[in-house]
Amino acid sequence: MTSKKSDYTVLIISVLIFLLLQLSYFVQIQYPFRLLGTWFHEMGHGLTALLVGGKFHYLEIYANGGGVAYSTVTNKFISISLARAFTAAGGLFGPAIAGSVLIMAARSQKHAAILFRILTGVIILSLIIWIRSYWGIIVLSGFVVLFVIIMFLKNKKVETITVLFLGLQCILSTYLQLNYLFTKQFERNGQVMTSDTQNIAANTFGTYWMWGAIILLVSFFLLWKSFRYYLKHE
């Protein structure tokens, strides 16, 4: 276990790097991580569809940073409306949940190493089964190569910092899509689409902005709890 001072130092450096990468000067460095965030989002949709008894067909990631997961839901376990709401919410909560798990895993080099390999394995699995867009295959394959290189370095500290940074990038990506959280509709390829928050509201209750606020608060809560766990010492 590292010292508390060291934990704070690593965490502060990671946060500063994350914030630094949001500057326009680093747009080319930001780009692949933006697409990785899209992967977490779309995988959240697809895997949630599977969890509620539906089917996850495939996902696409586009060069502009957007993406879409194609899935169908059934009433095998719950009502179709509720299944649709859960599937829509899965893409919004997915990055926050995955990010908090990664941050907490970074508290231990052993756990970070295990989760780093699990994450790499899930990306490879998604490349084989679900990713169908040319651009998505290129970018996610690049991350797999990068992660494998980091593993071959056999430096647990580097792996731990990488897991911490990925967790921060993942969970804080929620705050980089505020416009989407509080959007009812958007246009894709000339077609008007309903947002995830509007889909949740349409299949449950309330409004899209109410669900946007709930998701934002829950994401902040998960971020806070994961930070507290990361900095916790016996």
- Each residue of 59-70: pLDDT tens digit? 999 998 889 999
Say if residue 234's pLDDT is above 60.
no
Residue pair 31/49 in contact by the 8 Å Cβ criterion: no
HSE-CB at 56 with a 13 A cutoff on CA atoms is 24
Say if residue 151's pLDDT is above 60.
yes
pLDDT reported for residue 192: 84
Say if residue 10's pLDDT is above 70.
no
Say if residue 34's pLDDT is above 80.
yes
Average pLDDT over residues 175-202: 85
Residue 136 identity (one-letter amino acid)? G
β-partners of residue 60 are: 68
pLDDT-derived band at 180, boundaries 50, 70, 90? confident
H-helix segments, 154-207? 156-172, 178-181, 196-203
* Model pTM score: 0.89
pLDDT-derived band at 7, boundaries 50, 70, 90? low
pLDDT-derived band at 144, boundaries 50, 70, 90? very high
Give 173-184 as a DSSP string.
GGGG-HHHHT-S
How many CB atoms neighbour CB 196 within 10 A?
A: 26
Collapse the DSSP code of 55 into the 3-class scheme (helix H, G, I; strand E, B; otherwise coil) and give the result.
strand
Collapse the DSSP code of 131 into the 3-class scheme (helix H, G, I; strand E, B; otherwise coil) and give the result.
strand
The per-residue pLDDT of the chain, averaged, comes to: 88
pLDDT reported for residue 189: 73
pLDDT reported for residue 148: 97
Q: Which two tokens stand for residue 224?
A: 């806070």
> Which of residues 198 and 34 earns the better pLDDT score?
198
What's the rounded Cα separation, in Å, for the pair 114 and 82? 34
Q: Which two tokens stand for residue 185?
A: 């509709």
Task: Write the pLDDT tens digit of every residue in 215-225.
Answer: 999 988 998 89
Residue pair 102/167 in contact by the 8 Å Cβ criterion: yes
pLDDT-derived band at 199, boundaries 50, 70, 90? very high
CA torsion, ordered 128, 133, 139, 143, to nearest 10 deg: -20
pLDDT reported for residue 74: 78
